[in-house]
Amino acid sequence: MEEFKNLIVNNKAVAGILSQISQTNIKLSNNIEDNSNYHSYFLPQNLLRNIEKPILLDTFGILSKSKLLLREPISGSQISFCSADYNHSQANDEKGVSLKSENVKIFYSCIFDNLDHKYSSSFFTNLKSNSNVSIIFPNNKSAHLISDSVNQLKSYAKKIFNIKINENQILTSSLPLDISIFEDDKLKKTITIKNKSYLGICHQLANILHIFLKEHKNDIKPSESYTNYINKIFFTFFNLFPNFLNTHIFKFLLRLNGPRSFSNQILEINNFYTDQNYFFSNAIDDNQSSSLFFKGNFFPEIKIEGSSKSVFSLLKSESNLICSSDFSPKQKINTILLANSYSKNHFDAKINDSAYELMNLDKCYYLVSPSGLITMVDLISNLNQKSPVASIKSKYSDSQQKTLDTFNVNKFKPSIPKLSFRFPFFQKN
């Protein structure tokens, strides 16, 4: 799918992220009011297009005040930390496609240089949704401190680095939580960002903008970052427990969830993306699944052996079927047959054995959109089966079920029913 040639935006973060993940010519709106001066972002490694040497984060850590409770390798989605200080030109008018950022969240940051530490390529967080604090160590001589609270920023600068910062050292970055997309001043769609932390918002922004560039006609929405309910309870109250106990509980949760899932939950990047009005994930079914990747995840960027390209270069249709070359699917869509070192049949691309095993291609097949979004995962044994019942057009219609299917849960606000008591309870006639 072809990307846009030109886009107009009114937010520097959106402009910087778009410039790193696409070849689109980005211009700033002539009425921009964004005064951000911090331009470093967390982006999915596989989406980067214009960075030669991005900083790939390899470990995450959990902070409680100045104590590091846990430090583990990042085994989930690969994240890069990059600077994007582009000098974008301003547009003369608003003709064409424009992205207008609304409801921005301000983050404050401070950069510390001339340090000497052993945490290079690490990311630490205090896990709070409000007053969130993130520390990034791009190398062994510097660190970036980011928070949505000036007071927290100053407090952690003193606790962690023993440095008292003043207002002149504080940088700001405005990240949008809502983006309205216009074409020739006509509203086409609105994108809502669900994550809360700096890393989570940057990562989700990059993914949703990437989907928009590849599938601008589809209304793909992101979910909130899924967190296991046991983790969610403990993440909220762990500061009330002693640190030595917290360390053991975090390690227990790591093993309970698995390193990949736990890593994504800590980093707040465990999101799903779909064009449906609801998101459903059953943790029990997920654990029983034959694949590590589910509907709403992105297909991993797998390199083709003997080529500099990845499997993404073969996604040429609205829907693409990816399966093993050992099978012969009879489907009228773009089919990508992947082979490993043991395959002898005709194939479209050969991948290494570990990637083949990771995707469990001997048992599973995937339907993937042009942006790499997985729209379906199923057993290969079901691929060529046709149910005679499914081909018959049913006349049955359930109006209640139709109402449920079209109900937009994003607009639903649960509330406790109001109770009214009358005294006395028994009234005389």
pLDDT band for 284, please (50, 70, 90 cuts). very low
58 found inside a domain: yes
* Among 288, 303, 336, residue at a domain's last position: 288
What are the CA-CA distances from residue 216 to residues 4, 99, 183, 211, 423 (Å)?
9, 12, 11, 7, 60
13 found inside a domain: yes
| Cβ atoms of 296 and 371 closer than 8 Å | no
Task: Please tell me the predicted confidence (pLDDT) of residue 382.
Answer: 83
387 found inside a domain: no
pLDDT tens across 167-223, in order? 999 999 999 999 999 998 899 999 999 999 999 999 999 999 999 999 988 889 999
Q: Look at the chain and report how many structural domains it folds into.
A: 3
Same domain, 155 and 43: yes
Same domain, 84 and 191: yes
Same domain, 79 and 147: yes
Task: Please tell me the predicted confidence (pLDDT) of residue 337.
Answer: 93
Residue 405 in this model has a pLDDT that exceeds 70 = no
417 found inside a domain: no
Residue 345 in this model has a pLDDT that exceeds 70 = yes
Same domain, 117 and 255: no
Same domain, 70 and 135: yes
Same domain, 208 and 332: no
Longest dimension (CA), the chain: 92
- The domain of 329 spans 311-382
| Cβ atoms of 16 and 39 closer than 8 Å | yes
Same domain, 16 and 148: yes
pLDDT tens across 285-316, in order? 455 567 778 889 999 989 999 888 899 999 98
What global pTM score does this model have? Answer: 0.85
Same domain, 63 and 131: yes
Task: Please tell me the predicted confidence (pLDDT) of residue 184.
Answer: 87
Give which of 32, 59, 57 is closest to 44, Cα–Cα.
57
